[in-house]
């Protein structure tokens, strides 16, 4: 049990800016096995977003409350996944050959593709969440946030399991997670990632999951075609688009 807690806290330290107990330490072995708890981090971050949204909605319009909830999730993660999405937009938008794409993604400067991409995806997520609340009320909004963050991180975990990590330099921030996961580790991630999907009505959850699965599959095929596998930025991009796909899937199902 202590070892599993260390793996969880390693994931918490890596994927968020939330505090971790000092007794956990910091070892390569912890990072090698941290990816199994990536979806659990999603449940935690989604819960933070849902909590802030619901509290803010007690005194503010729902649009402002949703925006504050989104801001809380970004602060909790340090914009970790949004940054990966932005770098992916610049890399795949501005690069042609694999080496060029990877070089652009590594560049810390923000280009027009990143600016437009992040702005559009955040605006679309905000609009989708506001519509979910308007049509179906706060309980579904909270469930959608928790499940969306969990499932989208499961989608990124599946990329780690099935695809090849293509960066060979030591400076990559995601290289510690590039170890091939064992099947039982993947099973843990799948169980955790799908657990919140038991909360919405079954048919609606299946439609939303289908949207996530299709989005993740298309993203994986695109990454393999363009660069032969994935990078840490690809994982962040996958999390962002799959989170949005989950919300849109719920909207499509309920309408």
Answer yes or no: is pLDDT of 1 > 80: no
How many angstroms separate the CA atoms of 185 and 34, rounded? Answer: 9
- Mean pLDDT for all residues in the chain: 91
Q: What is the pLDDT of residue 178?
A: 56
Euclidean distance between CA atoms 191 and 11, whole angstroms: 17
d(Cα 238, Cα 32) in Å, to the nearest integer? 20
3-state secondary structure of 126: helix
CB atoms within 10 A of CB 225: 8
The percent of residues in the chain predicted with pLDDT above 90, rounded, is 73
CA distance 235 to 239: 6
Q: Give the pLDDT of residue 29.
A: 77
- pLDDT, residue 150, reads 98
> What SS3 state is found at 228?
coil
Report the pLDDT value the prediction gives residue 32, as an integer from 0 to 100: 79
Q: Flag the least confident range among 58-72, 132-146, 211-225, 235-249.
A: 132-146
Going by pLDDT thresholds of 50, 70 and 90, the confidence category of residue 170 is low
How far apart (Å, rounded) are the C-alpha atoms in residues 21 and 6? 10
Question: Residue 149: its pLDDT value, please?
Answer: 98
The pLDDT assigned to 179 comes to 63
Label residue 212 left, alpha or beta by phi (over 0 means left) and psi (-120 to 50 means alpha).
alpha
Tens-digit pLDDT profile for residues 40-58? 999 999 999 999 999 999 9
Q: Which of 29-43, 156-170, 218-232 has the highest mean pLDDT?
A: 218-232
83-116 burial: b if 16+ Cβ within 10 Å, else e: bbbbbbbbbbebbeeeeebbebbeeeeebebbee
Q: Where are the domains of the chain?
A: 2-254
For 44-103, how does the pLDDT look when each residue is reduced to its tens digit (9 = 90+)? 999 999 999 999 999 999 999 999 999 999 999 999 999 999 999 999 998 889 999 999
């Amino acid at each position: 049990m202590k070892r599993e807690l260390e793996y969880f806290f390693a994931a918490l330290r890596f994927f968020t800016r939330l505090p971790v107990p000092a007794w956990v330490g910091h070892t390569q072995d912890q990072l090698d096995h941290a990816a199994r708890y990536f979806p659990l981090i999603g449940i935690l971050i989604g819960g933070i977003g849902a909590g802030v949204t619901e509290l803010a909605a007690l005194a503010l319009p729902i649009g402002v409350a949703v925006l504050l909830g989104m801001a809380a999730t970004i602060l909790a993660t340090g914009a970790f996944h949004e940054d990966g999405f932005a770098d992916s937009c610049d890399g795949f938008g501005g690069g042609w050959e694999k080496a060029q794409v990877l070089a652009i993604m590594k560049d810390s400067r923000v280009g027009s593709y990143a600016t437009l991409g992040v702005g559009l995806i955040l605006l679309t997520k905000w609009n989708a969440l506001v519509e979910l609340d308007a049509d179906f009320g706060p309980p579904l909004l909270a469930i959608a946030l928790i499940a969306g963050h969990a499932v989208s991180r499961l989608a990124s975990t599946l990329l780690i399991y099935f695809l090849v990590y293509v960066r060979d330099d030591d400076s990559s921030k995601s290289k510690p997670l590039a170890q091939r996961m064992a099947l039982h580790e993947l099973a843990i991630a799948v169980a955790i990632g799908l657990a919140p999907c038991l909360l919405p009505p079954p048919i609606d959850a299946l439609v939303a999951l289908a949207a996530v699965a299709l989005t993740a599959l298309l993203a994986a095929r695109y990454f393999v075609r363009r660069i032969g596998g994935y990078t840490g930025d690809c994982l962040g991009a996958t999390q962002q688009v799959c989170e949005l796909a989950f919300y849109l899937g719920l909207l499509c199902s309920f309408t």
